[in-house]
Structure formats: C-alpha cells, structure tokens
C-alpha cells in the first residue's frame, strides 16, 4: 500500500481488530502479510499509530488451549463480527495473557485503550 507519510507508524486492522503495527518506508509505502482461513470477504484498514497502541499476539497451543497475549489496554471478546457485542474479558490488574479453551465456541478478541 502506498501514498502514506514517509517513515511513519501505522496500525493495520483486519475487520476492525488490530493485525499489526508497521512503519512506512522512505517512499510512504508499507507491506504486510496475513493468512486467511476462510473465503469470506476480509476488510483491512490502515490508520496512523503512535506506536504505543495495544497489540494482540498469537501464542502456543497446548492440550486444546491457546495462549493469547496482548501488550496493554482492555481485552474484549465477541462471538459475532457481523453484529458484534464487545464485552470486557475479566482480568486481574496487570494481566496480559489468557488461556482460551479451543473446544469452546468461536470467539473474536480485540484490545481497546480505556
């Protein structure tokens, strides 16, 4: 993608959720990759970033559990992206990692800055 400010930080979102933070090059272009598991339409957006926005990270899968880690902000989840009803995930102060049971129904996660 191009026509961005040169050497600037951007947040790439996938269907409204943070995907990655990236810096544009000297010509105002960025490149990012993503693997898609379905053939449904996926919407990506790019917005200026301070570089301090919370990010979600994939984790290890062990015994039907997935470890989700984030860098800050409030973690939220929903079971539907068409009509999302984002709810805060209960966490203790300073907690930035949770285990997700992979045998439970599908959930989507995002972080927000309170």
pTM above 0.85, yes or no: no
Q: How confident is the model at residue 59 (pLDDT cuts 50, 70, 90)?
A: low
One domain for residues 42 and 69: no
Give the Cα separation of 62 and 1 in Å (integer): 36
Please give the residue range of the domain that contains residue 14: 9-48
Examine the pLDDT at 45 and tell me if it is beyond 70.
Answer: yes
Tell me, what's the pLDDT at 35? 75
- Structure token digits, residue 24: 């544009």
Question: Which one has a higher pLDDT value, 34 or 62?
Answer: 34
96 compared with 75, residue with greater pLDDT: 75
Higher pLDDT, 21 or 53: 21
Say whether both 60 and 35 belong to one domain. Answer: no
Residues 64, 95: one domain? yes
Strand arrangement of the beta sheet that strand 44-48 belongs to: 17-23, 9-14, 44-48
pLDDT for 87 equals 95
Per-residue pLDDT band at 47 (split at 50, 70, 90): confident
Residues belonging to the chain: 114
- Residue 72 — left, alpha, or beta (φ > 0 → left; ψ -120 to 50 → alpha)? left
Domain co-membership, 43 together with 60: no
CA angle 102, 82, 97 (to 5 degrees): 35
Structure confidence at residue 41 (pLDDT): 77
The answer, yes or no, to whether residue 95 has pLDDT greater than 70, is yes
pLDDT band at residue 63, thresholds of 50, 70 and 90?
confident
C-alpha–C-alpha distance, residues 12 and 76, integer Å: 18
Give the count of domains, the chain: 2
* Structural domain contains residue 37: yes
Q: Is residue 1 part of a domain?
A: no
């Amino acid at each position: 993608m191009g026509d961005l400010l040169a050497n600037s930080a951007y947040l790439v979102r996938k269907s409204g959720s943070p995907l990655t933070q990236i810096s544009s090059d000297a010509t105002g272009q960025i490149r990012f990759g993503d693997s898609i598991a379905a053939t449904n339409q996926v919407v990506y957006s790019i917005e200026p970033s301070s570089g301090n926005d919370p990010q979600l990270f994939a984790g290890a899968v062990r015994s039907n559990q997935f470890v989700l880690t984030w860098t800050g902000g409030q973690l939220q989840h929903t079971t539907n992206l068409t009509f999302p009803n984002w709810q805060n995930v209960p966490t203790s102060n300073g907690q930035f990692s949770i285990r997700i049971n992979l045998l439970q129904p599908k959930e989507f996660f995002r972080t927000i800055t309170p």
